[in-house]
Amino acid sequence: MAKKTQKETDIIFYIHRFNPDVDSKPYTQKYTIRVEPGMTVLDGLHLIKETQDATLSYRFSCRMGVCGSCGMLLNGRPSLACNTQILDITMKNLTVAPLPNFNIVKDLVPELTPLFEKHISIHPYVIQNKTDEMLDPTGEFYQSPEELTKYLQFSYCIKCGLCMAACPTLATDSEYLGPQPMLQSYRYSIDTRDDGFDKRKKVVGNTHGVFRCHYAGECSNVCPKGVDPARAIQLMKRELVLDYLKIKKHRSTSFIMGKPEGVKRRPEIPKAPPFTVEQK
């Protein structure tokens, strides 16, 4: 056996295994690999799969912290395997498990369907009452840089599910919407181009919505993009209270049809292409 260099370290992976087709319950399997500085957990899983156990299952795609596919529990903390370096979190043992608060598809693969269904339920898109203008625009819907900054931070969500896995309320209430859908409800409702607050408040203001949040803050602690779901949830609570007290009415006040004074369309920006399907 080749002698280890000073930069290499043997790390023991304790990996959660579960195949619902053959296993009655989950179990832990032990693997030992040689790790170099800079090696990510995802690199380690690839090495194990390629050299020790081809049956190991996990989910990944971009490998650069963008898609959110490789979310898993690393030494008890929800993290992205692709941008977590092994030697940053351990020098000896690493426990790898699927994200909690989700069912297991196989091994380290969580069933994220509930996350996406809840995300869809809050209408995660700009809803515009001016349908004629949307289909046949006569101008532009202008939004100032100041208005953009109100929701920009919350638009960086990659739907990785880490915040949902860290949420203690979701752990005790499977019907609870959870941090990711609720922060998106605020992101779109605070967008000055949006008219959908009345639809979203019926979803996030119910028994399993924002007022069930105990503000533990773990969702924000584990977010790999600094989105801060806990803050968005508190801000959405405020919007609901102000709306209930009729102190603040959500409506499109920042729309300017046509180009606002002093704003010109840059000549290098092409016009929108024609519709590819018939509009009804």
What pLDDT is attached to residue 74?
98
Across-strand partners of 10? Answer: 34
pLDDT digits (tens, 9 = 90+) for 174-229: 999 999 999 999 999 999 889 999 999 999 999 999 999 999 999 999 999 999 99
What's the CA angle centered on 41, arms 36 and 45, to 5 degrees?
A: 100
Give the Cα separation of 213 and 207 in Å (integer): 11
Provide the 10 A C-beta neighbour count for residue 76: 9
Query: Which residues have CB under 8 Å from 216's CB, separation 6+?
Result: 167, 168, 169, 230
257 pLDDT more than 90: no
3-state secondary structure of 134: helix
pLDDT digits (tens, 9 = 90+) for 159-187: 999 999 999 999 999 999 999 999 999 99
Give the Cα separation of 126 and 116 in Å (integer): 17
Query: Which residues have CB under 8 Å from 214's CB, separation 6+?
Result: 168, 169
Instruction: Sketch the domain layout of the chain as residue ranges.
Output: 9-110, 113-244
Check residues 278 and 16 and name the one with the higher pLDDT. Answer: 16
Provide the 10 A C-beta neighbour count for residue 227: 23
pLDDT digits (tens, 9 = 90+) for 51-103: 999 999 999 999 999 999 999 999 999 999 999 999 999 999 999 999 999 99
125 pLDDT more than 80: yes
Query: pLDDT over 70 for what percent of the chain?
Result: 91
Give the Cα separation of 86 and 148 in Å (integer): 37
What pLDDT is attached to residue 253?
47
Give the Cα separation of 205 and 202 in Å (integer): 6
Across-strand partners of 104? Answer: 110
Give the Cα separation of 70 and 107 in Å (integer): 12
Sign of the Cα torsion 27, 111, 65, 177 reads negative
DSSP H helices in 36-85: 41-51
- Per-residue pLDDT averaged across 115-127, rounded? 96
- Residue 4 is which amino acid? K
What pLDDT is attached to residue 134?
76
Mean pLDDT score of the chain, rounded to an integer? 90
pLDDT digits (tens, 9 = 90+) for 134-159: 777 777 777 888 989 999 999 999 99
Q: What are phi and psi of 12, to 5 degrees?
A: -90, 120
Q: In which band, very low, low, confident or very high, does the pLDDT at 255 lie, cut at 50, 70 and 90?
A: low
Q: What does DSSP assign to residue 96?
A: E
Domain 9-110 has CATH 3.10.20.30: yes
pLDDT digits (tens, 9 = 90+) for 1-59: 555 544 789 999 999 999 999 999 999 999 999 999 999 999 999 999 999 999 999 99
Task: Select the CATH number that applies to the domain covering 113-244 from these four: 1.10.1060.10, 3.40.190.10, 1.50.40.10, 3.40.50.2300.
Answer: 1.10.1060.10
What's the CA angle centered on 136, arms 132 and 140, to 5 degrees?
A: 95
**Closest to 263 in 3D by CA, of 139, 154, 164:** 139
Q: Do domains 9-110 and 113-244 have the same CATH topology?
A: no
pTM, entire model: 0.85
